[in-house]
């Protein structure tokens, strides 16, 4: 059991993702921090949309006491002052990486939910607080951190496979479709990238110098330690030509939140990041046995079991 727990904290960077890519770092840029979530709780994987002068940031909320993520929204005003935080999506399984985007006149969310053995696309029925399942996206693998983008007349979906476990950080798959709801087809070269340094998506794709660019996780120093920019020079259903760009780390000035950085998400003229610190907790050693005992009791009592 891990005695040191990762605690993430998101921040809004007062610069566009293009400006950050050009600088090669977030060091020295103004940051607006999210509220602290309390002992052994955190927010991570922030993605955001602007609406009517407000910034709605969707993120995973995680509490080590129950170890099942849910999706919260944090609202900020135009001056990036915190307004409120509310839960908007929870299921019987872990949720994270709430990729939110607009397409076809609707607002969508594609959260990671590998414990449900698949991927569900949600539609906003009452943005930002009300969401409904729209369809299941069928892929050859159960995906992690699925990241959609409409590019060159098609929908593309980047993701890492949940199985085998050794591929979760090191392997990148791509699928494509004519419509967001599918059907989705695997790329002819799948997987399109396999590298020990890391290939799992870590934010919003963007176009830089005419090339589609995807933030991916760099795991050379462990999970969530850094990001790299994957510059895609050619993308068709049959071809995938790439080169590896800049590496981004949490600047030392952010200590104690300088142990990792694993999201870079665009939201107009600002960018969302999350950084982490490690916390030693003796209490955390007994958390997993307590959770397993509670779930066993629930099964014995005939109650629904969360994944």
Digit-coded pLDDT (tens) for 223-232: 999 999 999 9
Contact 263, 200 (CB under 8 A): no
Give the burial class of 160: count Cβ atoms within 10 A of its Cβ; 0-12 exposed, 13-18 middle, 19 or more buried: buried
CA–chain centroid gap for 206, Å, is: 15
pLDDT in tens, 48-102: 999 999 999 999 999 999 999 999 999 999 999 999 999 999 999 999 999 999 9
Instruction: Output the pTM of the full model.
Output: 0.92
Tell me the HSE value of 209 on the side-chain side, using a 13 A CA sphere. 7
Domains of the chain, residue spans: 4-300
- Residue 286 is predicted with a pLDDT of 61
Which residues are bridge partners to 235 per DSSP? Answer: 240
Q: Lowest mean pLDDT: which of 104-108, 196-200, 224-228, 278-282?
A: 278-282
Top CATH class of 4-300 equals mainly beta
């Amino acid at each position: 059991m891990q005695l040191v727990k990762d605690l993430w904290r998101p921040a809004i960077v007062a610069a566009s993702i293009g400006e950050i890519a050009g600088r090669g770092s977030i060091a020295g840029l103004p940051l607006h921090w999210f509220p602290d979530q309390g002992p052994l709780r955190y927010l991570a994987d922030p993605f955001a949309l602007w609406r009517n002068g407000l910034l709605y940031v969707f993120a995973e909320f995680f509490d080590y006491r129950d170890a099942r993520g849910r999706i919260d929204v944090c609202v900020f005003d135009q001056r990036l002052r915190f307004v409120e935080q509310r839960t908007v999506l929870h299921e019987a399984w872990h949720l994270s990486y709430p990729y939110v985007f607009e397409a076809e006149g609707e607002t969508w969310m594609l959260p990671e939910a590998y414990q449900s053995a698949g991927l569900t696309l949600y539609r906003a029925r009452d943005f930002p607080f009300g969401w409904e399942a729209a369809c299941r996206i069928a892929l050859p693998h159960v995906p992690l951190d699925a990241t959609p983008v409409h590019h060159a007349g098609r929908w593309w979906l980047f993701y890492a496979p949940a199985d085998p476990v050794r591929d979760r950080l090191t392997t990148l798959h791509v699928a494509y479709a004519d419509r967001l709801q599918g059907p989705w087809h695997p790329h002819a070269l799948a997987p399109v990238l396999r590298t020990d340094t890391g290939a799992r998506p870590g934010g919003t794709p963007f176009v830089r110098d005419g090339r589609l660019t995807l933030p991916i996780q760099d795991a050379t120093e462990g999970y969530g330690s850094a990001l790299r920019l994957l510059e895609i020079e050619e993308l068709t259903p049959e071809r995938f030509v790439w080169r590896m760009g800049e590496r981004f780390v949490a600047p030392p000035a952010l200590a104690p939140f300088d142990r990792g950085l694993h999201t870079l998400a665009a939201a107009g003229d600002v960018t969302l990041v999350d950084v982490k610190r490690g916390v030693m907790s003796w209490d955390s050693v007994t958390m997993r046995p307590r959770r397993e005992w509670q779930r066993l009791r629930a099964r014995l009592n005939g109650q629904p079991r969360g994944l």
